[in-house]
Structure 1
Amino acid sequence: MVDRIYIARHGYRLNWDTTSWKSVTGLPRDPPLAAFGVTQAEELAVYFTSLPEDERPTAIFSSPYYRCLQTSTPVSKALGIPIYVEHGLSEWYSPVAPGSGLHPRPGSATHLQTFFPHIDPTWQSIYYPSRKGEDVDAVHDRVGQCVKALVEDLQTREPEKPHRVLLVSHAATIIALVRELVGDRELKLRPGCCSLSKLERKKDAGGVLGGYEAKLLADGSHMEGGSTRDWGFEDIVIADGKVVNDQGQPGSEGEVDDPVGLQVREHDVSSRM
């Protein structure tokens, strides 16, 4: 049973301090953490080690972006638990402008393990967002399908084992995650860097979506500097009632947008590790 879900945003990004940064993985739009962000990630790990053992995460599911895997690593080391790469937790990009190509996509778990040895590559991503981008409703749909399948997967394989998972992701994705899990797409939330939300399963929950209640929302009290650089959907730029288009990655115009969407059939969630 997945009775508790922790959700953390990545730490403070290097590209917020300087334009002179290099992608470690070679992927465009994939900045590492700044030194301050690394400290935030370490503070997150200290917080989790301060909890009783039966309250600590038992596994980490992370977005494949470098900054999220960097944030996950101190927790993985401190608790001795694996990092599973889940593309369904990826960054949110608004729809690409026509003719501008596709958004970048990080590599596989096996590829990323060369940078982060604590990754367990046996997990197969449940969901892949379209490289064509998403509108606001679509990112909620994506996240809802992903987390529902992920929780059902864990509960199907090990129904008697208590699972407490940590999801490490990005601001927009986190807001959508919390909203889907508590069943309220209008919930106001502004997660800051390395802020933490804690959700617990309702005793009378009939399903995953709407089956959790928030015990902690975008909290930064575990960090000396508190929560920083918060973001919410109210910050997006709207034109004609829709989020404005983004530019695709130059040179990607001929690439194929595949795989896309849910990678498991409904109720077919066995043996993905």
Structure 2
Amino acid sequence: MGATELVLVRHGESMGNVAAAAAHAAGAEVIQVGARDADVPLSPTGVTQAEAFGRWLAAVPADETPQSVWCSPYVRAVQTAQTALATAGLELPFRIDERLRDRELGVLDLLTTLGVERRFPEEAVRRRWLGKFYHRPPGGESWADMALRLRSLLRDLDDDEDGRRVLVVAHDALILTVRYVCERMGEADVLGIAATTSVANASVTRLARPSGTGAWTLMSFNEADHVRASGAPVTSHPGDSDVLPVHPA
């Protein structure tokens, strides 16, 4: 037996998201954040989005409310979870796990697409050739690497959360990779989603399996109506655009 429901939530908009958007708009090579990735906080919009998710949580029927929280250690995710729980008036067991951290980009960290092309042109070619799932930047991770750590995490989650509903607060790539593992997808399946859909900040994705065993069923994906209803903008801030492998003719 194991967990019966996963409520997957991407953190609210971060100051890193804002800085990345500004760098791309300005044609810059480097994203100016001023903090290591793990320490980047929410933007004011991100706080509003986290509060909107908290109101969503408060409105969930008691027999559907998450019974515990597993959270990325990154500040933006912890802030999202804590803000939402405070807004909802919920006190739940709260666990931080480093395996829920965002994808590590190694030498490409803080570089825009233009920055990668100019500073690491051979790596840009390799990224296009391999596609997002298997490309591992020097010192960083591929999506396949994330899947390995998530398989380990999900085994522990099942052991500790038998028969329970779990809220998982993490990052956009993590949410898609959890879907990849739980729904037993292939590379083409998950990259097809990534190529057409950006996971919105503070959006909700739900996976369920009432028996607590076997494959999961997707109940909802990337729902952000609660953010719209709050009057906050729905933001997504997708990552690099090199999703599918591109092989020269």
**Could you tell me the TM-score, scaled by structure 1's length?**
0.63
User: For residues 192-271 of structure 1, what are the structure 2 equivalents within 5 Å?
Assistant: 192-201=200-209, 203=211, 206-207=213-214, 211-224=215-228, 225=232, 227-231=234-238, 235-236=241-242
Matched, 1:3 2:12: no
Q: Which runs of 5+ in 1 are unaligned?
A: 98-130, 156-161, 242-273
Q: Is the 8 A contact 1:220 1:227 kept in 2?
A: yes
3-state DSSP class of the match of 1:197?
A: strand
The alignment-based identity, stated in percent, is 24
Matched, 1:38 2:47: yes
Cross-structure match for 1:108: none
Q: Which runs of 5+ in 2 are unaligned?
A: 20-30, 109-137
Counterpart of 2:100, as a letter, is L
Q: Deviations over 1:133-192 (max 9, x none)?
A: 21221112221221222223322xxxxxx4110101111111101111111132315311
User: Cα gap change, 1:57/1:35 in structure 2, threshold over 3 Å: closer, same or farther?
Assistant: same
Cross-structure match for 2:164: 163
Matched, 1:79 2:90: yes
Counterpart of 2:103, as a letter, is W
Moved more, 223-232 or 137-146: 223-232
User: Cα gap change, 1:148/1:31 in structure 2, threshold over 3 Å: closer, same or farther?
Assistant: same
Q: Deviations over 1:67-96 (max 9, x none)?
A: 000000023322111321011100101354
Bigger proportion of residues as helix: 2
Q: Is the 8 A contact 1:76 1:82 kept in 2?
A: no
3-state DSSP class of the match of 1:223?
A: helix
Counterpart of 1:47, as a letter, is W
Counterpart of 1:84, as a letter, is R
Cross-structure match for 2:146: 139
Quote the Cα distance in structure 2 between the aligned partners of 1:93 and 1:76: 27
Matched, 1:181 2:189: no
User: Cα gap change, 1:149/1:52 in structure 2, threshold over 3 Å: closer, same or farther?
Assistant: same
Q: Deviations over 1:247-266 (max 9, x none)?
A: xxxxxxxxxxxxxxxxxxxx
| Higher relative contact order (CA closer than 8 Å, sequence separation 6+) | 2
Quote the Cα distance in structure 1 between the aligned partners of 2:6 and 2:96: 16
Quote the Cα distance in structure 2 between the aligned partners of 1:152 and 1:12: 32
Cross-structure match for 1:92: 103
Quote the Cα distance in structure 2 between the aligned partners of 1:91 and 1:145: 16
User: Cα gap change, 1:10/1:92 in structure 2, threshold over 3 Å: closer, same or farther?
Assistant: same
Q: Deviations over 1:227-265 (max 9, x none)?
A: 4225367x2478998xxxxxxxxxxxxxxxxxxxxxxxx
3-state DSSP class of the match of 1:194?
A: coil
Q: How many residues align?
A: 194
Counterpart of 1:144, as a letter, is R
**Could you tell me the TM-score, scaled by structure 2's length?**
0.68
Quote the Cα distance in structure 1 between the aligned partners of 2:213 and 2:61: 28
